[in-house]
Amino acid sequence: MKVFETHSAEETTQLGRQLAQEIKPGAVVLLRGDLGAGKTTLIKGVAEGFQAASADDVTSPTFTLIHEYRGPEVSLYHIDLYRIDTQRELDTLALDDLMDAKSILLIEWGEKFERFVRERNAEIAIEHLGGDHRRISFSQEN
Ligand SMILES: Nc1ncnc2c1ncn2[C@@H]1O[C@H](COP(=O)(O)OP(=O)(O)O)[C@@H](O)[C@H]1O
Ligand SMILES: [Mg+2]
């Protein structure tokens, strides 16, 4: 596990660009942390790292639930399960159809469903340390 600390949103986005170099195509990545921790902010950088979107184009899929960003090598699917509570609701998203060797799923609130905790390939956990200070840990299975 690698642990980082950031002191601004921009630094967290920059860390996302850096972590993009370690995330492998095909991965399911869980992003954990309270509301406002910085999950979406970090994904802005991941999307830039994969040349799939610019930071400004990455917004929270809170209502739309899934945003797709297509890069030259992989498609990123940014998913927010905050408002999804039942297996039935989850099934309507058909996330299985998005899983592919050339896609990466970045899932906020994925830990609400045991399945994603089991199947995740990498996890990014963000802790709010007060003000703009965050501790961000990255772990990945080999
Ligand atoms: N170090 C930091 N890292 C990430 N976001 C930060 C940081 N400091 C302040 N912020 C602010 O916190 C908020 C994080 O929001 P967001 O990324 O949408 O969180 P989440 O997706 O976890 O709910 C943004 O308004 C961002 O500008
Ligand atoms: Mg978010």
pLDDT for 62 equals 86
Output the residue whose Cα is nearest ligand 1's atom 9: 132
Region at 94 (left for phi over 0; alpha for psi -120 to 50; beta for the rest): left
Question: Helix 39-49 and helix 9-20: axis angle, to 10°?
Answer: 40
Domain count, the chain: 1
pLDDT for 142 equals 73
pTM: 0.96
Mean pLDDT of 43-53: 98
Mean pLDDT of 107-115: 97
For 33-133, list the strands marked E by DSSP. 66-70, 75-80, 103-108, 122-128
Output the residue whose Cα is nearest ligand 1's atom 18: 40
Ligand at minimal distance from the CA of 46 is 1
Domain coverage including residue 82: 2-140
Token pair 């799923």: residue: 105
Q: Indicate which CATH number applies to the domain containing 28.
A: 3.40.50.300
